[in-house]
Amino acid sequence: MHRSATVAALVTLATGPSLEGQIVLDRPPNLGGTWVADPGVVRFDFVHRFYVTPAPSRSTVNTPTFLLAVGLPHDLMLGGRFGTRSATPGRNNEFEAFGRWQVLGGRSAPLSVALTPAFNFVSESVDGEVQADWSRGRVTLSGAVRGMSKAYGTDRSRVALAAGAVFRFNRYVAIGGDYASLVDPDPGEDPAWSAGLLFVIPGSPHTFSLHASTADLNTIQGSSRRGALSTAVDKILYGFEFTIPLHLKRFGAWFGKGGAAATAADTPAAAEVRMEALRYQADTVTITAGQSVRWVNADPLEHTVTFGEGGPASSGLIPADGRFVARFDRPGTYAYSCQPHPFMKGVVIVR
């Protein structure tokens, strides 16, 4: 079984097409993105940047940022970021509570827009960001407007603009970069920029990226100007980001409905989609209203068929050799994905 899973991951890595809508491969390191976690999914991201001092000490100065957030219904997400090097001068730690509402877009939409209100407890500042992401083929372009009521511990409100881009070589590897600057910078307030090599780890919902950046911290304020550490040493910081989505529904029904049970797996279906080599083998199927689609899990791993809001009931976990059938009564386009493996995506078109 373990050997089969490894072979499936390697086959998909070699043959997978470019991925649209994947939340990590669609955002460069210093832009928060327009993504929201699925309802019932807890997201933990660890961003670590560092500087190594010159000889003879060669000690490492670290600037980690931790993100913890939970997805809610109606395209909402709530969470917080904690960093051990504050963007506010004279302070060590920083905590930012934030929410995000994806007001436009979704899994397969080319344009996504999100509002991210936040509160920075160190500077006692009401912050916020409006970001838009536009994807076409292998490219995603991003832009953001940020506002801060008491930026960096002062009584002065500030505005920052940011822009970035990502290019995906395939569904697992991408490069990205971004640039952000305060609209009215003071002397010594240089823009923040980053560049990154972004990866999806095959066979898992995790992602990993390597960074070079002049920003110390990944909060709204920290990503809007060059960081204090980078300025002090006049160096570029290097580091990485690792993402961990935790699907609470997998731990029991107490955390939420597991989706429709696959009790109707033998119901006649107008189309069938095999889940094999970590892919929906037919990523788009077209049927007539009133007909059904059957999914068959031919992988040794558990998968789901998870629809967005307005779609039919989702499957819950489908074991190896398991089946799931969904009926579509209304015309429309229904995008879906696999919760444990979010790079797996498909669409049902109902005429």
**The pLDDT of residue 262 is above 70:** no
Domains of the chain: 2-250 (2.40.160.40), 257-350 (2.60.40.420)
Which region among 140-144, 309-313, 333-337 has the lowest average model confidence (pLDDT)? 309-313
Residue 319 CB partners (closer than 8 Å, separation 6+): 297, 302
User: Is the pLDDT assigned to residue 256 strictly greater than 50?
Assistant: no
Give the list of residues 6+ apart from residue 247 with CB closer than 8 angstroms, or none: 40, 41, 205, 339, 340
pLDDT above 90 coverage of the chain, percent: 55
DSSP 8-state code for residue 14: H
Query: Is residue 103 scored above 50 in pLDDT?
Result: yes
Q: What is the rounded CA–CA span in Å between residue 145 and residue 165? A: 15
Lowest-confidence segment of 3-7, 17-21, 265-269 by average pLDDT:
17-21
Of the candidates 212, 228, 209, 200, the one whose C-alpha atom is nearest the C-alpha of residue 340 is: 200
What is the predicted pLDDT for the residue at 180?
97
Pick from 20-24, 30-34, 227-231: least confident = 20-24
For the stretch 234-255, pLDDT in tens is: 899 999 999 988 876 655 544 4
Separation between Cα atoms, residue 251 and residue 40, nearest integer Å: 11
- Band of pLDDT at residue 203, cut at 50, 70 and 90: low
Phi, psi angle pair for 135, to nearest 5°: -115, 140
Taking 80 as the threshold, does the pLDDT of residue 65 lie above it?
yes
